[in-house]
């Protein structure tokens, strides 16, 4: 078991990891930038080290400084959370090379699954259906044009090392291809330091379904059912729920089987998520990507399964076998998560940093809030705008929607703008209530 874990992150996920370590009897080290001097994660940890200035490239992305902080505090593990260095193969290697356990996959696994085109090639070899498109990275615009003509428009040009919608371009016809190909490569280079892109067929009304997996170092791999993640803006999830109304037991079992095969094939260890595009018309699903880390939306899975994903993720990397009882875990009830961002939804989602002058959280049966903010906290402009996650659990979806609506009504966050008004509109929307939505839902709602 670990003696001490350095949490290489900030915000609510840093708090979440620190709490899990506390329950396991593991000491923690928080790192923080000068912008996060008053952040709660710093106060909750047993030790805290300032890692650098507000600029994330000089603090939370500074690999050498984080390794040095781990050595200085004698930490024997580093938990990267999500974002920042969580899926950075070089950082995983540096941890191992310096005798510190990276609480995530090894560098080879991250490199394979982190490169979207390589990941597609890998899973295709074991029989997992993939989205029609290029076989690996595009070598030229001419190659891309030829493939687009073969599979039919619309198509997506995507950054091979991408995420969060960066380096991604939707192309509706041949005339738009060259311009979008060039701009995707430029944005990919600026965002990820690599301009490689690949091409995929674009589905007009898809659902975004993901499967949570957990795997130990002894070959035991389990799935914890699916999450419905179709409510998103610019490829960034806004609201997630489980189970999904879109898939039946047969499809769920097939997705889970495929996800286990992927994890087994690459020797995966820890918590991970396999993401799929699901076509509700044909009832077919296609591998999209694998996230080799804990997901923002992991709490809804914890709510319906009673399984602590973060604690067990840590145990997996401590070389402790998972319990065979996990195979029999059933999903019960329904859970919804709303990501509360410091954004002005009435002004094109402009970031809304600043001081939170008043802050009150909802409570009651079946309500959970993961956050790192409080009254008097100053939301910095340097990082992701998410300030809280409101999660509810109920016996069924109808009750979960009602409970979430009530919870959001109780939320008081003053001094800044938040996405709470948008979430309330989503929950009252007839199409959402009926489950009649896809990845285009939110864009349509915003336009209306």
Task: Answer yes or no: are the C-beta atoms of 398 and 333 closer than 8 Å.
Answer: no
SS (H, E, C) the chain: CCCEEEECCCHHHHHHHHHHHHHHCCEEEEEEEHHHCCCHHHHHCCEEEEEECCCHHHCCCCHHHHHHHHHHCCCCEEECCCCCCCCCHHHHHHHHHCCCEECCCCHHHHHHHHCHHHHHHHHHHCCCCECCECCCCCCCHHHHHHHHHHHCCCEEEEECCCCCCCCEEEECCHHHHHHHHHHHHHHHHHHHCCCCEEEEECCCCCEEEEEEEEECCCCCEEEEEEEEEEEEECCEEEEEEECCCCCCHHHHHHHHHHHHHHHHHCCCCEEEEEEEEEECCCCEEEEEEEECCCCCCHHHHHHHHCCCHHHHHHHHHCCCCCCHHHHHCCCCCEEEEEEEECEEHHHCCEECCEECCEEECCCCCCEEEEECCCCCCEECCCCCCEEEEEEEEECCHHHHHHHHHHHHHHCEEECCCCCHHHHHHHHHCHHHHHCCCCCCHHHHHHHC
Residue 293 falls in the annotated catalytic set: yes
Which one, of 130, 200, 105, 277, lies nearest residue 121 by Cα?
A: 130
Pairing of strands 236-242, 343-344: unpaired
- What is the torsion angle, in degrees rounded to the nearest 10, for the CA atoms of residue 135, residue 137, residue 143 and residue 145? 90
Choose the catalytic residue: 16, 227, 293, 339. 293
Which one, of 5, 17, 163, lies nearest residue 81 by Cα?
A: 17
Q: Which residue do the tokens 């993961």 mark?
A: 370
SS (H, E, C) 111-143: HHHHCHHHHHHHHHHCCCCECCECCCCCCCHHH
Active site residues: 293
């Amino acid at each position: 078991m670990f003696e001490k874990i350095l949490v290489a992150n900030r915000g609510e996920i840093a708090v979440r990891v620190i709490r899990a370590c506390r329950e396991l009897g593991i000491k923690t080290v928080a790192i923080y930038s000068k912008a996060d001097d008053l952040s709660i994660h710093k106060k909750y940890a047993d030790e805290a080290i300032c890692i650098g200035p507000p600029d994330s490239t000089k603090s939370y992305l500074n690999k050498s400084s984080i390794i040095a902080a781990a050595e200085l505090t004698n930490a024997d593990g580093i938990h990267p959370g999500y974002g920042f260095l969580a899926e950075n193969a070089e950082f995983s290697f540096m941890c191992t090379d310096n005798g510190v356990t990276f609480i995530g996959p090894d560098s080879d696994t991250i490199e394979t699954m982190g490169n979207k085109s390589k990941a597609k090639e890998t899973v295709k070899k074991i029989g997992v259906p993939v989205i029609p498109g290029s076989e690996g990275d595009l070598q030229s615009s001419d190659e891309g044009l030829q493939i687009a003509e073969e599979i039919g428009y619309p198509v997506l040009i995507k950054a091979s090392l991408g995420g969060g919608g960066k380096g991604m371009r939707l192309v509706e016809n041949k005339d738009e291809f060259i311009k979008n190909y060039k701009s995707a490569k430029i944005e990919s280079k600026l965002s990820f330091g690599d301009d490689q892109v690949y091409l995929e067929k674009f589905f007009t009304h898809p659902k975004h379904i993901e499967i949570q997996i957990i795997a130990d170092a002894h070959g035991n791999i389990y799935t914890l059912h699916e999450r419905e993640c179709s409510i998103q803006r610019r490829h960034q999830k806004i609201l997630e729920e489980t189970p999904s109304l879109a898939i039946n037991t047969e499809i769920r079992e097939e997705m889970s089987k495929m996800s286990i095969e992927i994890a087994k094939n690459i020797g995966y260890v820890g918590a991970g998520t396999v993401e799929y595009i699901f076509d509700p018309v044909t009832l077919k699903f296609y591998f999209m990507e694998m996230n080799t880390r804990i997901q923002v939306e992991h709490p809804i899975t914890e709510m319906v399964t009673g399984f602590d994903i973060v604690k067990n993720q840590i145990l997996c990397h401590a070389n402790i076998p998972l319990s065979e009882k996990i195979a029999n875990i059933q999903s019960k009830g329904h859970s919804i998560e709303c990501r509360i961002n410091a954004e002005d939804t009435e002004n094109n989602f402009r970031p809304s940093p600043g001081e939170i002058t008043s802050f009150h959280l909802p409570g009651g049966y079946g309500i959970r809030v993961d956050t790192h903010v409080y009254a008097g906290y100053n939301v910095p402009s340097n990082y992701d705008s998410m300030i809280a996650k409101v999660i509810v659990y109920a016996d069924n979806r109808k009750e979960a929607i009602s409970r979430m609506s009530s919870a959001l009504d109780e939320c008081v966050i003053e001094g800044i703008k938040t996405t709470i008004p948008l979430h309330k509109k989503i929950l009252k929307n007839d199409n959402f209530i009926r489950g009649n939505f896809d990845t285009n839902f939110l864009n349509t709602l915003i336009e209306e």
